[in-house]
Amino acid sequence: MSEGAPCCPKCQDDRPNIDRLILAWAASATTLFCEHPNSFGCYPRATLNLKKPTPDQISRCILDGNASQAADLARACLDAGLDPLQALDPFVAAIRHAGDLFEEGEFFLPQLLLASDAMKAALAVIFPGSGAAASPLSRGTVLAGTVQGDIHEIGKNLVCALLSANGFRVIDLGGDVHLDTFLDQARQLQPDLLALSALLTTTMMQQKNLIVRLQETGLRGQVKVMVGGAPVTADWARSIGADGYAPDAARAVDEALRLLGQHRA
């Protein structure tokens, strides 16, 4: 949407449906305008090029937490001929901006969670094979999740998306995953790699606790463990006996390939 004040009540009620219809008209640019009296300070006319969404449109969509529009914009990126990683770039920039706003106190947790949901919707379109679906490259199976007591999933979601895009079968357990759930799923699914995220200093210890539990249950020798998250460091990873550490999503792919003795295609 263009810059401006919120639409009048009539337009605001219709806006979700109007947005979906407009985004479906990807064959040409469309002019948006309010047909109702201007006393409400409605959005001015704006041309939206739907063949290739702009970074500003994508950023606004993610920051607004508009999941349905995020999926539509992601689809429009692919329809415009971008490959998945190219399509992902502006969404990554947008969700990182949301994280920065949260750190600066400009965003509150509900807004961050809505932005994360919008990002998930886009990822589901860009990388439809993520989740439990097997990858044709069969690089290995990754069991991922944010540890118990921590609901942050933005970074973990990006890692899962990029791992999937690079040929891994990714099973995402979500956020605030209990240690027993990790153990049960590791025993049942026999993954090649566990990817453990922690975004709080207070939950980092759960990464260590899980490694201890893996040792106690005899599972440690059967799976590699990679850790990450904002407060996590390479020194921390070494101190708790993790096999690998990645400071960001892009390097998580390289680290996963290294741990499993593989190389990028």
Residue-wise pLDDT for 21-50, tens only, equals: 344 333 233 333 333 333 334 433 333 445
Q: What is the mean pLDDT of residues 129-151?
A: 74
Q: Do 15 and 62 share a domain, yes or no? A: no
Q: Do 92 and 195 share a domain, yes or no? A: no
Name the helix (H) or strand (E) containing 8.
Answer: none
Note the residue count of the chain. 265
Triad 100, 106, 107: Cα angle to 5°: 75
The domain of 211 spans 141-259
Question: CA-CA distance, 236 to 228, in Å (whole number)?
Answer: 10
* pLDDT band for position 206 (cuts 50, 70, 90): very high
Q: Do 107 and 216 share a domain, yes or no? A: no
Q: What is the mean pLDDT of residues 50-63?
A: 90
Residue 188 is part of a domain; what is its CATH number?
3.40.50.280
Q: Do 97 and 146 share a domain, yes or no? A: no
Return the DSSP state at 221. G
Residue-wise pLDDT for 210-248, tens only, equals: 999 999 999 999 999 999 998 999 999 999 999 999 988
Q: Do 242 and 177 share a domain, yes or no? A: yes
Q: Do 20 and 100 share a domain, yes or no? A: no
Q: Do 207 and 109 share a domain, yes or no? A: no
Q: Is residue 133 in some structural domain? A: no
Which pTM was predicted?
0.57
What is the amino acid identity at position 136?
Answer: P
Q: How far is CA 173 from the centre of its chain?
A: 13
Q: Is residue 180 in some structural domain? A: yes
Question: CA-CA distance, 157 to 161, in Å (whole number)?
Answer: 6
- Residue of higher predicted confidence among 43 and 96: 96
Residue 100 is part of a domain; what is its CATH number?
1.10.1240.10
Rg, the chain, Cα only: 21
- Residue that has been written with the tokens 């904002």 in this structure: 230
Q: Which two tokens stand for residue 15?
A: 């806006």
Q: Do 103 and 196 share a domain, yes or no? A: no
> Which residue, 68, 99, 125, sits at the end of a domain?
125
- Residue that has been written with the tokens 């044709």 in this structure: 136
Which phi-psi region, left, alpha or beta, contains residue 197 (left: φ > 0; alpha: ψ -120 to 50)?
beta
Return the DSSP state at 177. B
- Which residues, listed in sequence order, are joined to residue 195 by a DSSP beta bridge? 144, 226
Three-state SS at 250: helix
> Which residue, 9, 31, 51, sits at the end of a domain?
51
Instruction: Report the number of distinct structural domains present in the chain.
Output: 3
> Which residue, 101, 125, 149, sits at the end of a domain?
125
Give the least confident one: 82-86, 150-154, 160-164, 170-174: 160-164
